[in-house]
Structure formats: C-alpha cells, structure tokens
C-alpha cells in the first residue's frame, strides 16, 4: 500500500513565477490537506479539500490555490512567488481522524 | 482555534537515557498525534492518541484529555531517535491539525 506521495521532491523557482505541486493520497483516503513549513518552524495549515471542494483555509493569501481531482489527488498552486514562499510543502491525507503525510516538496525561490 | 504548545524546545541526551516530551493544548481534542520529522523532512506517524496510553517498542504516549496534555516517552534513547518531534491536535472532525513548534532532540553517543 503506497503512502502519500508528493512530486516533485525539490524545486527551484524565480521570484514572480508560478509553481504547481502535486499530491497523491494514501489509498482509501478522501481528504487532502496542505501545509507550509518554514525552516525551524512547525507546519502551518494552508487549506483542506474534500469532495473536490476547498473546505477549510488557513491564513494564506489568494496567491495560494488548490484543486482536488475525482481520484482524490490534489494540486497546490502558488502564483507570483515571493522569496518568503521558500519552504517545505507537506501534503496530508486522511479518512476519518488520523492524518498521514507525504515526504514533502522543498521549494526554493531565488 | 486550538493552540498547541510543546516543551522543552530543545533536548540533548546521552545515548541510553530516557526522556519525556510534553504537549499542552488549549481545548478539548478529538485528534492528537505525535510525529517524528526525519532529516529529509518527512513526518513519521508515531501515535494517534486523543486519549489513553499506547506503547510501541521503546516509545510510549499518554494523553490526559481532561487536563489537556499529552506526554511522549522515549526510553533507552538511540542516536537514530534524533530529530524533531511534533505534537498536533484538532478539536472537531473536519478541522485540520494544528502543530506545536516541536521539540528538537539530539542523542549523542
């Protein structure tokens, strides 16, 4: 049983560009959440998707958007990248209460 | 929303020593999880423990929901236990996990 998988694992983008990160949830999981983790900090909640709709959103600007597909996989899009968007982006999936995380995508904005 | 606080922020242990990590939360919870973040950034599930006590090898955890805290015990620590330990909680079925700032554990040989 594959766990949560994310792609790519590393990414370097230039300030002002746009980026798309991808997440495939654990088998049987229908809810996907995205988190941003800055260096030395705990993960911060960005948003959560269930039944292809954004259900909850954290304190992040509209530059951060997402999508969930019928197979429950998800994308995180960030527009107009800022240097401060450099972070580890984590995807979590669950069915019920317990959440499982992918290995993350490390985004560097230069 | 719920707030999660972890202590201590940093911990240095000699190999073989025992340790206790604490997590305080500000509201009742329906989900409480402990994670170990490996050097590559992945969060490894240690325990799903909204209440009660669980054990897995050298690790055990206890959550006292009525007093709003959880403890993670590491016995006979090994250098491979080094890393950051996170506690995360949520207080209703659909709300996302809120993370503490973590405890950075360093086990030295």
Q: What is the pLDDT of residues B36-81, one digit of tens each?
A: 998 889 999 999 999 999 999 999 999 999 999 999 999 999 999 9
pLDDT band at A86 (very low <50, low <70, confident <90, very high): very high
Q: Find out whether the peptide bond into A8 is cis, omega within 30 degrees of 0.
A: yes
Q: Indicate the residue of B31, B35, B99 with minimum beta-carbon distance to A97.
A: B31
Q: Which residues of B touch A37 (CB under 8 A)?
A: 41
Q: Which residues of A touch B25 (CB under 8 A)?
A: none
Residue with tokens 């909850």: A56
Measure in Å the smallest separation between the Cα of A18 and chain B Cα atoms. Answer: 23
Distance separating alpha carbons of residues B17 and B77, to the nearest angstrom: 5
> Does B91 have pLDDT greater than 70?
yes
Residue in A with minimal Cα distance to B32: A98
Residue B39 is predicted with a pLDDT of 86
> Does A58 have pLDDT greater than 70?
yes
Nearest to A100 by CA among B106, B40, B31: B31
Residue A1 is predicted with a pLDDT of 65
pLDDT band at B93 (very low <50, low <70, confident <90, very high): low
A interface with B, Cβ–Cβ < 8 A, is: 33, 35, 37, 41-45, 48, 50, 55-56, 58, 88, 90, 92, 97-104, 106
Taking only the tens place, the pLDDT of each residue in B3-39 is 999 999 999 999 999 999 999 999 999 899 999 998 8
Q: Indicate the residue of A98, A103, A104 with minimum beta-carbon distance to B33.
A: A98
Q: Indicate the residue of B41, B96, B99 with minimum beta-carbon distance to A56.
A: B96
Yes or no, beta carbons of A45 and B97 under 8 Å apart: yes
* Burial track B48-78 (b if 16+ CB lie within 10 A, e otherwise): bbbeeeeeeeebbbbbebeebbbbbebeebe
Q: Indicate the residue of B30, B98, B101 with minimum beta-carbon distance to A97.
A: B30
CA distances from B99 to A67, B10, B71, B87 (A): 23, 16, 15, 6
> Does A65 have pLDDT greater than 70?
yes
Q: What is the mean pLDDT of residues A70-81?
A: 97
């Amino acid at each position: 049983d594959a766990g949560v998988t994310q792609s790519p694992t590393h990414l370097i983008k230039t300030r002002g560009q746009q980026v798309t990160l991808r997440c495939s949830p654990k088998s049987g999981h229908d809810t996907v959440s995205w988190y941003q983790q800055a260096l030395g900090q705990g993960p911060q909640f960005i948003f959560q998707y269930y039944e292809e709709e954004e259900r909850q959103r954290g304190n992040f600007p509209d530059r951060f958007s997402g999508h969930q597909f019928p197979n429950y996989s998800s994308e995180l899009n960030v527009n107009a990248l800022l240097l401060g968007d450099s972070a580890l982006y984590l995807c979590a999936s669950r069915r019920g209460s317990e959440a499982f995380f992918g290995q993350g995508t490390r985004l560097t904005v230069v | 929303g719920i707030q999660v606080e972890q202590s201590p922020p940093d911990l240095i242990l000699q190999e073989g020593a025992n340790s206790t990590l604490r997590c305080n939360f500000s509201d009742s919870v329906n989900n409480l999880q402990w994670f170990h973040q490996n050097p590559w950034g992945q969060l490894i599930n240690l325990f799903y423990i909204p209440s009660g006590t669980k054990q897995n090898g050298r690790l055990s955890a206890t959550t006292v929901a009525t007093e709003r805290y959880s403890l993670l015990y590491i016995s006979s620590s090994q250098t491979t236990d080094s890393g950051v330990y996170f506690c995360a909680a949520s207080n209703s079925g659909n709300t996302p996990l809120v993370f503490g700032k973590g405890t950075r554990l360093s086990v030295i040989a």
